Amino acid sequence: MNITRKDIDAVNATLTIEVKKADYAEKVETQLRNYRKKANIPGFRPGMVPVGLVKKMYGKAVEAEEINKLVSDALFGYIKENNINALGEPLPNESQAKIDFDNQEDFEFQFDLGIAPEIDIKLSAKDKIKYYQIALTDEMVENQIKSYTGRFGSYIQAESVEEADVLKGELLEMSGKKVNEAGHKVEDAVLCPKYMKNDKQKALFIGKKIGDVVVFNPKKAFENEAEIASLLKMSKDEVHAIDADFQMTISGITRYEESPVDQSLFDKVFGEGEVNSEEEFVAKIKESIQKNLDADGDYKFSMDAREAIIKKLDGVVFPDTFLKRWLLASNDKMTEEIVESDYPKMLEDLKWQLAKDKIANDSEVKIEFEDVEAFAKKIAQAQFAQYGMNNVPDEVLAGYAKDMLKDEKSIRNMMDGALNDKVVATIKAAVKLDAKEISMDDFNKMLEEK
């Protein structure tokens, strides 16, 4: 078997693989003997089928299978042994002569390769990239404290009704100013004045106490049929027929009371004994918020760094025609129109990937399993933060990270994420940071516009 390479240009090449009968004959014979041992053909005992019959029945199919396997191994082996940085997968050459396995003994296969261009990424203080520092404000701190006091509050039984209280009681349908004995009745109705759309109806409840009777009109109070149906415990269709007033005898007033800013709250938020005064509590909150603001700033920097690095590759030639062919060949749902539309974005992603690999190689960036674990914990922490949980114990994060890393695809994603972080950190250390303080509102507007 012989393999020859023909370079079309710096990023396109053709590999020609010549296969002679001697390269595959023995493998075919071995495979046919295995077929003979397993063949179950009427009239013959297992393992006793004549070799000639097995060849007649399976010979050409086995030959084609073995040749294709031989060519595939040779193709990818050649690419690996010669350190060819191939893009996508090799594609059969479009001028390849049709292979006739029935009549040929010697074969010639041609494959087109797309090759990554040589790139040189030089980073220095001459490269200037903006770094946005989001200003920490008193309002952020106050909002976070309010979030904690709200989250760690408790329910109490109140003496008189306030707007946000939850009321429980018996509902009776009225007929004029009297209870309609045959009317609709709800023994354990629950409502909250806060959600009433009609201020006059809402005012009827404010200040009332347990045992007081309030006459109101559910349809005027709520307007939304789903809310009325839930209150009266009937279907939406039944609600259409209800226009009457109802009286509610209040049997319970439940209020959610925010937690006071005290030692109990400090312990619930940061762990027992970690914070021992309001000053320490505020300082810890500022530290936590600042950490998140820095992460947001780093995220924006990673976007700007990516853009700056990709710009350095302007003018670098890629095997565009090959890559578009490969996109079409590798995805049945892909069309030429979609390829033309998506290719610029795909090419940007490819440039960034090649640049990352180059920077990592030049800077001797290594990814250890500890880096992958740390990145998985970072992802877990971000997911918890979405629900306002900013101080999750390390052992909990480690448990979630371990679960993430059970999946092979997830491990690859985490490895790429860890590499991305290290490369961005390398860029950050090498370039000049054009630091700029910015408000959170302006920062968010900038991201939206981007």
Span 188-238, pLDDT tens digits? 999 999 999 999 999 999 999 999 999 999 999 998 889 999 999 999 889
- For 239, list phi and psi in degrees, rounded to 5: -60, -35
Residue 213 in tokens = 């009777």
Categorize the per-residue pLDDT at 28 as very low, low, confident or very high, splitting at 50, 70 and 90: confident
User: Directed axis angle between helix 138-151 and helix 278-312, to 10°?
Assistant: 120
Phi and psi at residue 136, in whole multiples of 5°? -85, 125
Environment class of residue 111 by beta-carbon count within 10 Å: exposed (0-12), middle (13-18) or buried (19+)? buried
Residue 279: per-residue pLDDT: 97
- Match 């309002």 to its residue by tokens: 139
Q: How far apart are CA 356 and CA 422, in angstroms?
A: 9
Q: Which residue is it, tokens 């000049």?
A: 432
pLDDT at position 60: 84
Q: How far apart are the first and last CA of the chain?
A: 54
How distant, in Å, are the alpha carbons of 27, 221, 273, 384 from that of 62? 9, 80, 73, 55
Q: Beta-strand (E) ranges in 64-124?
A: 86-92, 107-115
Nearest partner of 297 among 428, 402, 408, judged by Cα: 428
Determine the pLDDT at residue 45. 64
Least confident of 33-47, 145-159, 304-318: 33-47
Please choose, from the candidates 170, 229, 228, 235, the residue with its C-alpha nearest in 3D space to the C-alpha of residue 201.
228
Model confidence pLDDT, tens digit, residues 135-144 = 999 999 999 9
Task: Give CA–CA dist 180/359, Å, rounded.
Answer: 82
Q: Which residue has the tokens 């629950």?
A: 190
The CA distances from residue 383 to 366, 372, 388, 389, 397, in Å, are 26, 17, 9, 9, 10
DSSP strand E in 258-364: where?
Answer: none
* Helix, strand, or coil (residue 37): helix
* Residue 59 pLDDT: 76
pLDDT one-digit tens code per residue, 266-300: 999 988 899 999 999 999 999 989 998 999 999 99
21-25, 60-64, 361-365: lowest mean pLDDT where? 60-64
Euclidean distance between CA atoms 289 and 446, whole angstroms: 20
User: Does the pLDDT value for residue 54 go beyond 80?
Assistant: no
Bridge-based pairing of strands 107-115 and 86-92 is antiparallel
